Amino acid sequence: MIGSTLIHEPDESRLRSLATIDDIADLCTLELSALGTIDFQMIVDAANAEWVGGEPVFLDEEGGAAIFKVNPAGLRVVLSAIPNLGSVQSADLQSIRDFVAQHGSNSIYELATF
């Protein structure tokens, strides 16, 4: 997977109680094709903001996956940015805008794989 996965979940305890990362299939997710954590971090760094904060709400070290809460202020920076992106990245950014317009910015998480 090249792109990131964003998750909308108002009840953080559902994420904390996941047995495996495969359980996110039951959640409201947005699969991105090209944009990932590094892209988001570069955008928010320019604005002295943070993309994610704190410890992961879910961590599977053996499986190489973690879920972090996205900082709403950092998300707003990303959504308002006009970075020089290619068409696939621009499409991802529009998908994020649509996802946040539908679900709000306070309950968004990012699945990170390593």
The domain limits of the chain are 5-113
Band of the pLDDT at 3, cuts 50, 70, 90? confident
pTM score, two decimals?
A: 0.92
C-alpha distances (whole Å) from 106 to each of 11, 73, 91 are: 11, 9, 22
C-alpha distances (whole Å) from 27 to each of 7, 71, 89 are: 7, 19, 24
Closest CA to 82 of 109, 43, 114, 53: 43
Amino acid identity of 18?
L
pLDDT tens digits for range 81-112: 876 777 888 899 999 999 999 999 999 999 98
